[in-house]
Amino acid sequence: QVQLQESGPGLVKPSETLSLTCTVSGASISRYCWNCIRQPPGKGLEWIGYSYYNGSTNYNPSLKSRVTISVDTSKNQFSLKLNSVTAADTAVYYCARSIPWFGSMDVWGQGTTVTVSS
């Protein structure tokens, strides 16, 4: 059974970097694309981007200048870094799996809440 588990600090200060890690169990990280999605409080879903194990990435242009998603095959983990955060980045952040290169997101983590505040 494939499971994704997000981890990271629940609170980040404005202008700093938000860092999240998603740990994958029950599946090889080398066979899929690994996505990050976020959901501001009371709002809809926003796709942030994905990374493939070979370093290929695809980012939402609205966040591209601030985002890095990378895969660590040795740890079966992938990570999200979002720099220069503001209060508008406050959201529940999700990890999800998809099949390369055009795949729906069939497995999701439970999500982790990140608040940007001083």
Partner 1 sequence: EIVLTQSPGTLSLSPGERATLSCRASQSVSSSYLAWYQQKPGQAPRLLIYGASSRAAGIPDRFSGSGSGTDFTLTISRLEPEDFAVYYCQQYGSSPWAFGQGTKVEIK
Where do contacts with partner 1 occur on this chain (CB under 8 A)?
44-47, 49, 58-62, 94, 98, 102-106, 108-111
HSE at residue 87, side-chain half, CA atoms within 13 A, is 2
Nearest to partner 1 of 32, 49 (CB atom): 49
Least distance from partner 1 to the Cβ atom of residue 93, Å = 11
Nearest to partner 1 of 10, 118 (CB atom): 10
Answer for the pair 25, 76: CB distance below 8 angstroms, yes or no.
yes
Tokens 């870094």 appear where? Answer: 81
Structure tokens at 115: 């608040």
Structure tokens at 17: 């970097």
Least distance from partner 1 to the Cβ atom of residue 28, Å = 18
Nearest to partner 1 of 16, 92 (CB atom): 92
3-state secondary structure of 112: strand
